[in-house]
Structures are given as C-alpha cells and as structure tokens.
Structure 1
C-alpha cells in the first residue's frame, strides 16, 4: 500500500484532526497507509471509525 495515497491539497488538512471511515477492517494496511500519508502531510491526528473487524 506504500505510495498508493496522495494528498492533493496539504493546506486543507494541515493542523487538523482527520476521521477515516471504513466499512470493514481486515488487515488494517489500507487505513495505516492512508493515515501515514495524512500525518506526514500535515494532519495533527487521525482517528478511525469502522463498522466491522474481520478476524
């Protein structure tokens, strides 16, 4: 998942708390990759909400 996500307008998320919403978390790799990009681009905090978790 490295390199899949990109922030087009970093100024829109700089200093903000971002909520990522997913339907089902399986491995968490997608959410982790997305959160890492958001945090390295300027977001101060990333939270995750999901409806289900696959075991």
Structure 2
C-alpha cells in the first residue's frame, strides 16, 4: 500500500487535524500508509477511525 496516497492540495490540511475513515481494518497498514503523506504535508494530527475490525 506504500506510495499509493498523495496530497494534492497541502494548503487544505496544513496545520489541521485530519480524521481518516476506513470501513474495515485488518492490520492498520492502509491507515498508516494514508497518514504518512498527510503528516508530511503539514497535518498536525491524523486520527484513524474504522467502522469494523477484521479478526
């Protein structure tokens, strides 16, 4: 999942908290991969929220 996500307009998230919503989390790797470019673009915090967790 690495390198799949990018921030197109960093000025929109710079100095803001961002909430990522995923439907199902299995390992958390998708949320982690999505959070990295957001933080690199200047988000102050990235909070991952999932509706369900796979077991």
Query: TM-score when scaled to structure 2?
Result: 0.92
Say how many residue pairs are matched: 55
Runs (4 or more) in structure 1 with deviation over 2 Å come to none
Aligned match of 1:44: 44
The 3-state SS of whatever aligns with 1:21 is strand
Name the Cα RMSD after superposition: 0.8
How far off is 1:27 after superposition? 1.3
Query: TM-score when scaled to structure 1?
Result: 0.92
Instruction: List per-residue Cα deviations over 1:8-40 (Å, max 9, x = no partner).
Output: 000000000000011110111110000011001
Structure 2: 5+ residue stretches without partners: none
CA distance in 2, matches of 1:21, 1:3: 19
Aligned match of 1:17: 17
